[in-house]
């Protein structure tokens, strides 16, 4: 039976590498010494790089889904929930990291079909979550927008991923905070004075 602690260490080091440099730059031979194991030992846990990549996507997706569940269960208005969602991206930037699936999406065509499907599922899940928040917020009178909520959810996700990329390249947490604030404020219902 595999050592679960070592497996988690491999995943931790691999995730850090991918979120900073990308999946294609990650080398199994360079990961192993960081953990104090051999490449052969690493391959006993993850025989192929794709196995490691799929496990990274699954684990990252699970962790982010847990964060979304926590946001859902919070006793907040929908604008605050959307703001907390945006703060997940801000948190990545504060740690000088990109979204794992965002980094892998940049390399999408070079990845296995299974990895591509897993990344697409990650983004689909986020769009559906944002869609749900937008619909509920509009029904509660908190949000204002025209057209289907799903098209706005897709725009919000794309804007946040793009803002994270640009803000990281410019090393500007403030830029990310401004972008996320502008995204949220653009959907807030305007108070009408008679």
pLDDT in the model for residue 1:
42
pLDDT in the model for residue 192:
45
Give the tens place of pLDDT for each residue, 164-182. Answer: 999 999 999 999 999 999 9
Which tokens sit at 129? 């979550």
Q: Which CATH superfamily is domain 49-185 in?
A: Tetracycline Repressor, domain 2 (1.10.357.10)
Give the tens place of pLDDT for each residue, 69-81. Answer: 999 999 889 999 9
Domains of the chain, by residue range, sit at: 49-185
pLDDT in the model for residue 31:
93
Contacts of 84 (CB under 8 A, 6+ apart): 71, 74, 76
pLDDT in the model for residue 82:
94
pLDDT classification of 46: cutoffs 50, 70, 90 = very high
pLDDT classification of 138: cutoffs 50, 70, 90 = very high
Mean pLDDT, to the nearest integer, of 7-24? 95
Q: How far apart are CA 123 and CA 127, in angstroms?
A: 6
pTM beyond 0.75, yes or no: yes
Give the tens place of pLDDT for each residue, 88-136. Answer: 999 888 888 899 999 999 999 999 999 999 999 999 999 999 999 999 9
Cβ count near 155 (within 10 Å): 15
Q: How far apart are CA 123 and CA 61, in angstroms?
A: 9
pLDDT in the model for residue 190:
65
According to DSSP, the residues that pair with 188 across neighbouring strands are 143
Q: Is the pLDDT at 193 greater than 90, yes or no?
A: no
Q: Is the pLDDT at 25 greater than 90, yes or no?
A: yes
pLDDT in the model for residue 2:
55
């Amino acid at each position: 039976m595999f050592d679960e602690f070592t497996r988690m260490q491999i995943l931790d080091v691999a995730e850090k590498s991918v979120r900073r440099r990308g999946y294609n730059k990650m080398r199994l031979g360079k990961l192993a010494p960081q953990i104090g194991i051999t490449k052969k030992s690493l391959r006993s846990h993850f025989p192929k790089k794709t196995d490691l990549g799929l496990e990274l996507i699954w684990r990252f997706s699970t962790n982010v889904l847990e964060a979304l569940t926590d946001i859902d269960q919070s006793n907040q208005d929908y604008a605050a929930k959307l703001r907390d969602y945006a703060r997940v991206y801000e948190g990545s930037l504060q740690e000088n990291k990109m979204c794992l699936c965002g980094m892998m999406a940049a390399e999408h065509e070079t990845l296995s079909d299974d990895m591509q499907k897993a990344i697409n599922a990650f983004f689909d899940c986020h769009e559906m979550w944002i869609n749900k928040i937008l619909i509920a917020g509009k029904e509660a009178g908190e949000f204002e927008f025209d057209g289907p909520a799903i098209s706005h959810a897709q725009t919000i996700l794309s804007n946040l991923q793009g803002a994270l990329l640009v803000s990281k390249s410019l090393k500007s947490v403030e830029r990310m905070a401004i972008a996320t604030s502008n995204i949220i404020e653009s959907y807030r219902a305007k108070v009408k004075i008679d």
